[in-house]
Amino acid sequence: MKKRINKSILFYVASVLFLIASAIGLMSGNENTMAIVWLSLGSAFLCLGSTHKKKENNQTNTNDK
């Protein structure tokens, strides 16, 4: 049996990386526009991770019946 990586975890990891890049960009003060883009991407990936997790839970619940 192969172990599969949960895709929602990958979305969460990408979200954390984008948010860290945003924080670094905002603290440096050089290019705030790019930091806002990183912040938006981090938030989007956070939302994707949470919705993908709900879809996986719904599929496993219907398969158990």
Distance CA 42, CA 15 (A): 4
pLDDT of residue 62: 59
DSSP secondary-structure letter at 31? Answer: -
Distance CA 5, CA 2 (A): 10
37: in domain: yes
| Domain extent at residue 21 | 16-45
Residue spans of the chain under pLDDT 70: 1-5, 52-65
50: in domain: no
Half-sphere exposure in the Cβ direction for 18 (13 Å, CA): 19
pLDDT of residue 1: 45
Query: Total structural domains in the chain?
Result: 1
22: in domain: yes
